[in-house]
Each structure stands twice: as structure tokens, then as C-alpha cells.
Chains A and B, each alone.
Chain A
Amino acid sequence: MICSDAFKATGDAMAEIQGAPGYRYLTTPHPVAGLTSEQVRERAEAVAGEVARLLSE
């Protein structure tokens, strides 16, 4: 899972309430809503390595 970093507190709380405290997920800098398609691609490329590492752990 990836969420923008403004929502980390909510993400952590959701993980806890769903019975998975400390659940590991990735963040990307907030905001995301106004990004162009190219900027979204850049974000994806920036986080892709971490996604692969998290999934393989």
C-alpha cells in the first residue's frame, strides 16, 4: 500500500484498528491530487524500488 505522507496518522490508526498494528506501507510526498501524468509517473518510479523490496521481504 502507498499513501501520501499527510495521511500517515490515519493509516497507522487504520492498521491498528484492523488488527495489524505496525503494518508496513510506503508513503509518497503530499499532495498528489494536482500532479500531471508525467509527475505521477516520476513518483511511481521513485517508489518502485521500495515497493519491490517491501513485497519481497
Chain B
Amino acid sequence: MTTDPDPDVARAAIEYCYEQGWTDGLPVVPVSQALLDQFLAHTNRDPGQVLWRMEHLGRECTVQTAAINAAMAGCLPEYFPIVLAAWDAVMRDRAAKGGGWQSTSGPAPLIVVNGPIRHELGINCTGGIFAAGFRPNATVPRALGLMLRNAFGVAPHVFDQTTQGIPGRWAICFGENEEESPWEPLATEMGLEPEVNAVSCTLTRTYEFVDNRHTQNPEHLLNDFADTISRTGVMIFRAQSAGIVFCPEHAQMLADAGFAKADVKDWLIEHSGRVEADLRRVGKDAVSEGGLGGRSAGEAERVPGDVFTPFLPGRQSVPIVVAGARNAAISMVFRVFGEWSNSSVEIEAAPVAAVKGG
């Protein structure tokens, strides 16, 4: 005989989690040993395996701690291999390994899923990829945020030094719309076999839409993207990385005009940037090529005002993915925090017993 869950008991457990400081402000799922065991059954990894250790904080996150936080985030146990792959993928970024999680910019992990698992788990790839409404899209990135908070102690106002952060910082996860993309999936481009379940993840700083349903000329469209990529406000160093989440309509228009993904990257590399006079006008003419330093306004004219500075150093600086619906010609430019590893991580298959529900 089953009985309805008692809402008051559930609420008391949720409030207990708040009192412990375990939440990101929203309610979390209270985790029993039985629920934790279900999560651990979906990986072959040892619960005590250390996923990452932040030496300077003296804190680490084990597989078991990750599982607890994934459960608290609202993940289903079968999402856990995606959480592990997302963590492994983002930690390939030099910035994530180098203190990026504590950055004053408050970067957000961007999680892209490829492969059949998108449909098996109901990961949204089409309408509303940046909006709420789909459990895996909402809970997988939240799991990473809770891991940061609870395993590493990176919480706002102390070890998380975020100035403002990014709207939806722990909510950016979607599947690539492989079915309507004219190009190879992101994970395939990164060298994995087609149809492999994979996660790509990098830290990002902001998202800016490009709404262009106005032209059928591919160069007009690319100019619109280059204009957004060339905004001076995002510039910290001269070398930057800007990716695009193309809606299917934009991607198909470019592909129909003969642009492979690499051609789009090359076009944007050539056309994205600003002349020196523009940089001087906003006090960024002394910005260095990379690394720290050189952030102050130039005290003397370094080069003529009409010298063009390209912002994107190479194809590795222009990640491209296709997602969203065919509803309108609206795409999204995103800013990579540092540089993406340009790699995808295969999602580990769950043990057979877990798949059978054992």
C-alpha cells in the first residue's frame, strides 16, 4: 500500500537543508541514503574517487559528494553520468583550473550535450533552450553550482568573488539540435565518433542575441554577428573567444550558401575586431594581448587610429553549435571566459544493473 507524500514532512526536510546552508536560494531535494545509492549505481566510479581538489582552499569533491549535490539539484539518477562528464569537460579549461570559479566576473558553465542520450533523457534541444521547463536542462547545471558551493565552499560574498554574475549562471544546459543542423555535431567536430553520447562544457561570461530575419544575404548575416562580437565592452584582452549558438534557420541559410562551419569561423575571425581609434575612445588602447596587466588607458598613441585589431585569434576561439527552434531567425553569441579546451567528453555508460532499474 502506498500513501501520498506528506508535504509538511517534505517541507521540514527542505527547511533543514536551508538551515545547513546547502542551497543556492531555491529549495533542494533532501537526499536519503537510498536516493544516494541510486545515483551511485549509475556510475562505475568509486564513490571515494576525487573529481577535483582545490589545493588553495583545502577542499575536494568526490564522486559521492557530486552525487549528493546532483540529487539535491533535482537530477534524476540517470542524469548523473552527464553531471560527471560536464564536470570533467569544464575542468579541461585552463581558466576553470586556475581559479575561474572564484572570478569577479562570475562565469557560467555552458553545457552542450550530443548523442542519442538527448532524446533518451528528454534534454531540450529545440524551442526554449535557454528558458526553463525541462528537468535535465535545469538540474544538470544546477548540480555543478551546488558542487561548487557545498564541496568546495565557493559561495557568494566570500570565496565566490562575483561582482554581478550572469543571469541564469547555473542554468545553461541544452542538447545540440543535431536533427536540424546542417553541420556535424559539436562532439564529432571535436573528434569523437558520431552518435557517441558526449558533453562539451566551458565557462562563459555573457550571452547576446542576434535577431536577423531581415536578409537572405549570408554576408549581411555574418556582418551582424561580427558587429556583436566586436563590442568593446567585453574586451579585457585583445585576444578573445566568442562562440555562437546558431538557430537552425541561420545555420541552414549559411550552409545553403556554401559555408561549412570552418568557413563561418574563418569569416568571423577576419571581420571581428575594432580599429585602434575605437579602442582609444573607450580607454582600451593599452589592453595587452593576453595575461594580466595593461588594463589602464594608453598614455601615448601606440599605433595609428586606423589600424585594425582582430579579436578572434583562430578557429579554436569560435565554438559553434546549433540549437533552438525554427520559429525565428534568432541566434545567440556567447563569450567564453578564457579559452575553451576545444574537446568533448564521452558520457560514461551506466552499469547494466542501473539501466535495468536494479
Q: Are A35 and B296 in contact (CB under 8 A)?
A: yes
Q: Are A10 and B296 in contact (CB under 8 A)?
A: no
Q: Interface of B with A (CB < 8 Å)?
A: 56-58, 153, 157-159, 161, 295-297, 299
From known contacts A7-B161, A9-B158, infer whether A17 and B295 are also in contact, taking CB-CB under 8 Å.
no
Alpha-carbon distance A5/B295, docked complex (angstroms): 19
Q: Chain B nearest CB: distance from A42 CB in Å? A: 14
Contact residues in A for B57 (Cβ distance below 8 Å): 17
**9 tightest Cβ-Cβ pairs between the two chains A and B:** A13-B158, A33-B295, A34-B296, A9-B158, A36-B296, A10-B161, A17-B58, A17-B57, A10-B158
User: 1/0 per position for A8-48, CB-CB distance to B under 8 A?
Assistant: 01100110011000000000000001111000000000000
Q: Chain B nearest CB: distance from A5 CB in Å? A: 13
Contact residues in B for A18 (Cβ distance below 8 Å): 58
Contact residues in A for B159 (Cβ distance below 8 Å): 10, 13-14
Q: Interface of A with B (CB < 8 Å)?
A: 7, 9-10, 13-14, 17-18, 33-36
Q: Chain A at the B interface: mostly helix, strand, loop or mixed?
A: helix
Q: Are A9 and B299 in contact (CB under 8 A)?
A: no
Q: Chain A nearest CB: distance from B282 CB in Å? A: 12
Supply 22 A–B pairs (Cβ within 8 Å), ascending by A.
Answer: A7-B161, A9-B157, A9-B158, A10-B158, A10-B159, A10-B161, A13-B158, A13-B159, A14-B56, A14-B159, A17-B57, A17-B58, A17-B153, A18-B58, A33-B295, A33-B296, A34-B295, A34-B296, A34-B297, A35-B296, A36-B296, A36-B299
Q: Chain B nearest CB: distance from A9 CB in Å? A: 6
Q: Apart from A14-B159, A36-B299, what 10 extra A-B contacts exist at CB < 8 Å?
A: A7-B161, A10-B159, A13-B159, A14-B56, A17-B58, A18-B58, A33-B295, A33-B296, A34-B295, A36-B296
Contact residues in A for B161 (Cβ distance below 8 Å): 7, 10
- With both beta carbons as reference points, the residue of chain A lying nearest to B292 in the complex is identified as A33
Contact residues in B for A34 (Cβ distance below 8 Å): 295-297
Q: Chain A nearest CB: distance from B91 CB in Å? A: 21
Alpha-carbon distance A49/B262, docked complex (angstroms): 58
Q: Chain A nearest CB: distance from B24 CB in Å? A: 19
Q: Chain A nearest CB: distance from B275 CB in Å? A: 22
Contact residues in B for A10 (Cβ distance below 8 Å): 158-159, 161
Contact residues in A for B157 (Cβ distance below 8 Å): 9
Contact residues in A for B297 (Cβ distance below 8 Å): 34
Alpha-carbon distance A33/B157, docked complex (angstroms): 20
Most B C-beta atoms less than 10 A away, residue of A9, A14, A17, A34: A17
- With both beta carbons as reference points, the residue of chain B lying nearest to A35 in the complex is identified as B296
- With both beta carbons as reference points, the residue of chain B lying nearest to A38 in the complex is identified as B299
Alpha-carbon distance A1/B256, docked complex (angstroms): 59
- With both beta carbons as reference points, the residue of chain A lying nearest to B153 in the complex is identified as A17
- With both beta carbons as reference points, the residue of chain B lying nearest to A40 in the complex is identified as B296
Q: Chain A nearest CB: distance from B177 CB in Å? A: 40
Alpha-carbon distance A9/B70, docked complex (angstroms): 29
